[in-house]
Amino acid sequence: MSYKHIYFNEKVCNGCNVCVDVCPCDVLAPNKEKGKPPVLAYPEECYFDGACITLCPRKGAIEIVTPFPMRGGFQRV
Amino acid sequence: MKELKVIPIETDVLVIGGGLAGCMAAINAAGNKELKVTLAEKSDTRASGKAGTGVDHAWSYIPPVHEPMGYTLDDLVEDWRQSTASGASGFLRDDLVRLVASTMYDRMLDLEKFGINFRYEDSKVPGKFRVVYQYFSVPGSFNFDGVPLKPKLTAEMKKRGVQIINRVQVTDLIKTDGQISGAVGVGTRIAEIYFFKAKAVVLCAGGQSRIHRNPTGVDFNTFGPPTCTGDGAAMALHAGLPIVNMESLSGKPNLRAGANYNPNYGDPRSTVQPAARIIDWKGNIIVPRTRFYDWEKLGKEKWTPEVRRKWLEERRSIGNIRGRMAEMHDRGEGPFYLDFAEATDYEAQYIEWSIKNEGRGTQFMRYFKDEEGFDLKKTRQEYAGYGPMEFGTGQRGLWVNRGLETEIRNLFAAGDEVGAFLNAAAAPGALAGGWYAGGMAATRALAQKKFPVAGEEEVKGRKAICSELLNRERGFFWKEVEVYLQNLMDFYCGGIRSEAMLKRGLERLDYARAAPLKADNPHELARCLEVKSIMDTAEMVLRCSLERKESRPEPLGFRRSDYPQPSQEWSCFLGIRLEDGEFKYAKYRGDKPV
């Protein structure tokens, strides 16, 4: 199933590509333009383990929006 | 057609797989300055494996906690026999449980040296630890700050001079004169062949996933890491080694808390202690809330077999929570919720902290709080979503002796790669077992003077397979064949199995094996090779399911419609192996072949 769920904040990300290096599933690829945020090469192969966010040296550079089929299994009391 | 480059690497100890087990094996082996240690990892050791972005629990015999209780190592093993192995000694490797339980505390102290925190000022536990109930009749699992585990272990490996080769998928073991002498791998980002020659090898490539289709439709939102595709067991099978418990790997009906997010937790008796409870749609309590141990009692209250009896009774009355709720759901009951309404603020904070220490838990809590604005105490988490799935950390895998060596000399195994642990290898099996296997491999490498020389045939064979996949003009995309395999496993090898259905499943597997796969780039090549491992896993699961002629409740959890009763004859592990192209089977009771 296709979805786009990883967003980069261009103002914070400096294109260091640590997230590309550590992603266990090779979801991301370096941007062809140096210093720019990576691109989503294989978003549908994401394991939602958060390696990209956890090891990113710049807080706020990466945002994940949980794909819709994974949502909604909750009930407010 | 471009020729694939071959990269030769000579090393004393080769570690295959850089999860918790692999890192610990490499760190311990590299304690010997005169040895060259190389670790090959399919992803990147900073975030790979089942604990890639953290783990929150690790069970152990904990002397400063258990000794004042009068609870011994023997008591722990007996707890294991009575609960996890359901009292059947055929299903307990007490040598392996003992190995992990007796050394895991020392491994926690090692982790502390590598920079992992597991002591807390507010703790009343000796050593300032945080210890909760999980598997035993006494609290026996550490909670700790587990998120930085992999980066810290990676740093320690580098400090000790381990050669880390990331992004290489090992595919074949090399045998010379009846001994393991190396391995062949394929680069996952650059299509190159790695030719490893080694004096001793530690195999720890993890468990299996992607055998069943994910019902959420979000393909890689799997229970175990999708990168663990059973490559280790597959290469061991082709090397002629026995693999055990494969029939128990898959097909379990399972409901999970957090519904389709699949956050990999939700058992109030273990992973969401304290204060989690389960309620049904009417608010009836299915499982009452749990509590911390009252540490004021430590040293005053002695552990007795009566405590074990009481605890086991409580456990049995609950049964396998997720499985039991799946059965209730099949009867048309539900919904069910994980509920923290009775938690104090401190308990809720504690639970949130411990969930976050499992890496995917961090992401779950981020979604739960930041994306939705939920509050743990005011939001129930539904149990939903899962049909047949892979399950059973560390229960299926390679048969090893008590020294963690396989039947082929110089090949050791650790972590989820090792079979027969029955639900319980997990992080401690990996940390303690990995360390031990690394030590054994180092000793073996030191005793071996010369490098073995063979392997050219295996390299040639792997090169041909990869070239064919990359150069085929037309063929099927890896995911097409993977989904075919998942459909097959869901339908022919689900919760209840039978001879006729399993045989038909094997016929359809043959059809998949003949499918021409095509890879357009190195990434797709790696996925194609994973699909081939998944085929081998599927074949082992189907064949072992056919061979085990009985049904058995959890923890093995195996159902045959044509053999609905447990059989004394089958109160044992089942092993499968390839011998001259033929599948052969063997039974093991405890640590001995029957």
Q: Structure tokens of B158? A: 């580098």
Which among A55, A73, A76 has the least Cβ separation from residue B261?
A73
* Short-list B40, B94, B45, CA closest to B203: B40
Instruction: Report CB contact under 8 Å: B260, A71.
Output: yes
Q: In angstroms, rounded to a whole number, what is the distance separating the alpha carbons of residues A31 and A13?
A: 12
Q: Are residues B176 and B271 located together in one domain of the fold?
A: no
pLDDT at position B423, please?
Answer: 56
**Cβ(B184)–Cβ(B206) below 8 Å:** no
Q: Are residues B166 and B215 located together in one domain of the fold?
A: yes
Q: In angstroms, rounded to a whole number, what is the distance separating the alpha carbons of residues B522 and B530?
A: 12
* pLDDT (mean) for B85-109: 89
How close B382 comes to chain A (CA, Å)?
5
Q: Just give the CATH number of A6-66.
A: 3.30.70.20
| Residue B179: band (very low, low, confident or very high) from pLDDT cuts 50, 70, 90 | very high
Q: Are residues B535 and B398 located together in one domain of the fold?
A: no
Q: Are residues B206 and B80 located together in one domain of the fold?
A: yes
How close B160 comes to chain A (CA, Å)?
21
| Residue B363: band (very low, low, confident or very high) from pLDDT cuts 50, 70, 90 | very high
pLDDT digits (tens, 9 = 90+) for B111-130: 999 999 999 999 999 999 99
CATH of the domain at B163: 3.50.50.60
| Residue B328: band (very low, low, confident or very high) from pLDDT cuts 50, 70, 90 | confident
Question: What is chain B's mean pLDDT, rounded?
Answer: 92
Q: Are residues B301 and B441 located together in one domain of the fold?
A: no
**Chain A contacts of B225, Cβ < 8 Å?**
24, 47, 49
Q: Are residues B451 and B465 located together in one domain of the fold?
A: no
pLDDT at position B305, please?
Answer: 94
Q: Are residues B301 and B426 located together in one domain of the fold?
A: no
Percent of chain B whose pLDDT exceeds 70: 97
Omega prior to B388 cis, within 30 of 0: no
pLDDT digits (tens, 9 = 90+) for B259-273: 778 776 777 877 788
pLDDT at position B84, please?
Answer: 78
How close A22 comes to chain B (CA, Å)?
5
Q: Mean pLDDT per 10-residue run, chain A (77 residues)?
A: 94 98 98 97 96 97 95 90
pLDDT digits (tens, 9 = 90+) for B431-488: 999 999 999 999 999 998 887 778 999 999 999 999 999 999 999 999 999 999 999 9
Instruction: Report CB contact under 8 Å: B261, A21.
Output: no
| Residue B389: band (very low, low, confident or very high) from pLDDT cuts 50, 70, 90 | confident
Which among B219, B339, B379 has the least Cβ separation from residue A44?
B219
Q: In angstroms, rounded to a whole number, what is the distance separating the alpha carbons of residues B289 and B372?
A: 25
For residue B534, count CB atoms less than 10 angstroms from its CB and return exposed for 0-12, middle for 13-18, buried for 19 or more: buried
| Residue B255: band (very low, low, confident or very high) from pLDDT cuts 50, 70, 90 | confident
Q: Are residues B244 and B265 located together in one domain of the fold?
A: no
pLDDT at position B393, please?
Answer: 54
pLDDT at B227 over 60: yes
Q: Are residues B398 and B375 located together in one domain of the fold?
A: no
Sign of CA dihedral B312, B554, B388, B219: positive
pLDDT digits (tens, 9 = 90+) for B136-157: 999 999 999 999 999 999 999 9
* pLDDT (mean) for B498-508: 98
Q: Are residues B461 and B446 located together in one domain of the fold?
A: no
Phi, then psi, of B370 in degrees rounded to 5:
-80, -45
**Chain A contacts of B262, Cβ < 8 Å?**
70
What is the chain A residue with the closest CA to B340?
A77
**Cβ(B391)–Cβ(B254) below 8 Å:** yes
A35 touches chain B (CB under 8 A): no
More confident residue, B525 or B89: B525
More confident residue, B249 or B492: B492
pLDDT at position B115, please?
Answer: 98
Residues for chain B: how many in total?
A: 594
A60 touches chain B (CB under 8 A): no
DSSP line for B293-349: --GGGBTTB---HHHHHHHHHHHHHH-SHHHHHHHHHHTT---EEEE-TT--HHHHH
Domain that residue B69 falls in: 6-251+391-455
**Is residue B196 domain-resident?**
yes
Taking CB atoms and an 8 Å cut-off, how many pairs form between chains A and B? 133
pLDDT digits (tens, 9 = 90+) for B342-351: 999 999 999 9
**Is residue B404 domain-resident?**
yes
pLDDT at B29 over 70: yes
| B289-303, B388-402, B497-511: least confident range | B388-402
Q: Using alpha carbons only, how large is chain B's radius of gyration in Å?
A: 23
Maximum mean pLDDT: which of A12-26, B309-323, B415-429: A12-26
pTM: 0.97
**Is residue B577 domain-resident?**
no
pLDDT at B392 over 60: no
Instruction: Report CB contact under 8 Å: B47, A26.
Output: no
Q: In the listed set B420, B440, B455, which residue is the last one of a domain according to the structure?
A: B455
| B88-102, B175-189, B381-395: least confident range | B381-395
Q: In the listed set B356, B383, B410, which residue is the last one of a domain according to the structure?
A: B383
Which among A65, A69, A74 has the least Cβ separation from residue B382?
A74
Q: In angstroms, rounded to a whole number, what is the distance separating the alpha carbons of residues B145 and B250?
A: 31
How close A35 comes to chain B (CA, Å)?
21
pLDDT at B189 over 60: yes
DSSP line for A17-77: -HHHHH-TT--EE--SSTTSPPEES-GGG-----HHHHH-SSTTSEEE---GGG---EEE-
pLDDT at B391 over 70: no
| Residue B573: band (very low, low, confident or very high) from pLDDT cuts 50, 70, 90 | very high
* pLDDT (mean) for B359-378: 93
pLDDT at position B387, please?
Answer: 66
| A5-19, B38-52, B219-233, B323-337: least confident range | B323-337
Instruction: Report CB contact under 8 Å: A49, B360.
Output: yes
pLDDT at position B394, please?
Answer: 57
**Cβ(B440)–Cβ(B403) below 8 Å:** yes
How close B411 comes to chain A (CA, Å)?
26
Q: Structure tokens of B592? A: 């001995």
pLDDT at B106 over 80: yes
- Enumerate the domain spans of chain A: 6-66
- Give the distance from CA A56 to its chain's centroid: 10
Q: Are residues B483 and B419 located together in one domain of the fold?
A: no
Percent of chain B whose pLDDT exceeds 90: 77
Which among A3, A24, A50 has the least Cβ separation from residue B225?
A24
Distances from the Cα of A70 to the Cα of A6, B221, B375, angstroms: 15, 9, 18
How close A77 comes to chain B (CA, Å)?
5
Q: Structure tokens of B501? A: 């259905």
Three-class DSSP category at B118:
coil
Q: How many domains does chain B have?
A: 3
Q: Are residues B431 and B544 located together in one domain of the fold?
A: no
What is the chain B residue with the closest CA to A66?
B367
**Chain B contacts of A74, Cβ < 8 Å?**
258-259, 368, 372, 374, 379-382
**Cβ(B133)–Cβ(B290) below 8 Å:** yes
Q: In angstroms, rounded to a whole number, what is the distance separating the alpha carbons of residues B587 and B571?
A: 9
**Is residue B581 domain-resident?**
no
Instruction: Report CB contact under 8 Å: B382, A49.
Output: no
Instruction: Report CB contact under 8 Å: B44, A75.
Output: no
Q: Which of B42, B43, B357 to mutate to test the interface with A (most CBs of A within 10 A)?
A: B43
pLDDT at B86 over 80: no
